[in-house]
């Protein structure tokens, strides 16, 4: 088994053919490690843009690349062929956050007409590994932040250049506290509709009549007696949430309820809150989502 840390740089441009803005890959760097995290080989290439006419000022400033630097670059198609050979059948592609994978998919869709990346058969987001540590409270750390935590001097690297960022990612991986849990985060992209799941864009359901909504969730239980309160106003939508007023005649209590439905690949996530309308502060809080 081999570990391949990978990073890429891209240039934002508008694609007339696609009719939308597109992030075109201009550089890819990768470092191959053995099972003991020893470096085996490096890969680095510039890619000559086919869609963008020139680099944006932001990209030039961030990477220190110029349009001339890319003139003799490879093609994205050729680069993918080389990476298939570089990664091999036993390579786990590792990136810091899944943004790079999204960009690769975007480029594969434009240049190959497919939503999959041929050289990514097994994948690991190293940022999620570090972000899962209990002391982070679910906050996803930056690569530079984690590098400092494990004692790496980031000034030794040319940040925002693909190969150096891959080398930095490899060193952070090498110095990780626990390598055993890496396999808990490794994903086989050939199984369980990975790309379909990965490419799915979640959204909030804003139509109260949608069949995706479980009608039982639209009921409001009285906080005092537990019985179902009667809805006394129509649902209205604000900030992607539904609001309505309810009344429990048994307890003579009024409530505001807000509920939000988020469509995920595997179902619908429900966020629901009920406020006592008799309390001024809760009345005000009911008007906005937390």
Question: 74 lies in which domain range?
Answer: 2-199
CA distance 88 to 198: 22
82 Ramachandran zone, left/alpha/beta (phi>0; psi -120 to 50) = alpha
Q: Which residues contact 212 (CB under 8 A, 6 or more apart)?
A: 205, 261, 263, 268
Residues 160, 96, single domain; the answer is yes
Last residue of a domain, one of 199, 215, 230: 199
Q: Is 26 contained in some domain? A: yes
Full-model pTM: 0.82
pLDDT exceeds cutoff 70 at 286: no
Predicted confidence band of residue 289 (pLDDT cuts 50, 70, 90) = very low
Residues 161, 265, single domain; the answer is no
Q: What is the DSSP letter of 104?
A: H
pLDDT exceeds cutoff 50 at 114: yes
Q: Is 234 contained in some domain? A: yes
Q: Is 155 contained in some domain? A: yes
Q: Which residues in the chain belong to E strands, given as ranges?
A: 2-15, 20-33, 39-46, 91-95, 122-125, 187-188, 203-204, 220-221, 228-231, 236-238, 241-248, 253-264, 267-276
Residues 118, 15, single domain; the answer is yes
Residues 30, 133, single domain; the answer is yes
Instruction: Quote the pLDDT of residue 275.
Output: 93
Residues 12, 135, single domain; the answer is yes
* Radius of gyration from C-alpha coordinates of the chain: 25
Residues 151, 267, single domain; the answer is no
Q: Is 277 contained in some domain? A: yes
Q: For residue 128, how many C-alpha atoms fall within 13 Å in the half-sphere facing its CB?
A: 15
- What is the tally of structural domains in the chain? 2
Last residue of a domain, one of 147, 180, 199: 199
- β-bridge partners, 95: 125
Residues 123, 262, single domain; the answer is no
CATH of the domain at 140: 3.30.420.10
Predicted confidence band of residue 137 (pLDDT cuts 50, 70, 90) = confident
CA distance 277 to 280: 7
* Helix/strand/coil for 220: strand
Last residue of a domain, one of 164, 180, 199: 199
Residues 174, 92, single domain; the answer is yes
Q: What are the Cα distances from residue 287, in Å, to 103, 166, 205, 242? A: 38, 46, 18, 10
Q: What is the pLDDT of residues 22-78, one digit of tens each?
A: 999 999 999 999 999 999 999 999 999 999 888 999 999 999 999 999 999 999 999
Residues 116, 219, single domain; the answer is no
Q: Is 290 contained in some domain? A: no
């Amino acid at each position: 088994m081999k570990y391949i840390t990978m990073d890429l740089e891209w240039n934002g441009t508008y694609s007339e053919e696609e009719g939308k803005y597109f992030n075109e890959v201009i550089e890819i760097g990768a470092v191959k490690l053995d099972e003991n995290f020893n470096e085996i080989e490096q890969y680095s290439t510039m890619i000559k843009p086919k869609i963008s006419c020139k680099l944006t000022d932001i990209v030039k400033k961030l990477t220190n690349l110029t349009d001339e630097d890319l003139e003799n670059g490879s093609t994205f198609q050729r680069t993918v062929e080389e990476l298939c050979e570089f990664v091999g059948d036993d390579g786990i592609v590792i990136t810091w956050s899944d943004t790079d994978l999204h960009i690769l998919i975007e480029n594969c869709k434009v240049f190959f007409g497919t939503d999959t990346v041929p050289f990514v058969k097994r994948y690991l987001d190293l940022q999620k590994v570090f972000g899962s540590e209990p002391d982070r409270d679910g906050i996803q750390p930056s690569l530079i932040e984690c590098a400092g935590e494990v004692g790496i001097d980031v000034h030794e690297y040319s940040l925002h250049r693909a190969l150096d960022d891959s080398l930095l990612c490899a060193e952070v991986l090498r110095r990780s506290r626990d390598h055993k849990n890496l396999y808990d985060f490794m994903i086989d992209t050939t199984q369980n509709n990975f790309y379909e799941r990965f490419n799915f864009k979640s959204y909030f359901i804003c139509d109260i009549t949608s069949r995706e909504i479980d009608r039982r969730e639209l009921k409001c239980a009285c906080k005092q007696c537990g019985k179902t309160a009667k809805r006394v106003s129509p649902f209205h939508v604000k900030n992607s949430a539904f609001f309505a007023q309810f009344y429990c005649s048994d307890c003579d209590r009024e409530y505001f309820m807000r509920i939000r439905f988020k469509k995920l690949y595997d179902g619908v996530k429900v966020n629901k809150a009920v406020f006592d309308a008799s309390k001024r502060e809760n009345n005000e809080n009911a008007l906005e989502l937390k």
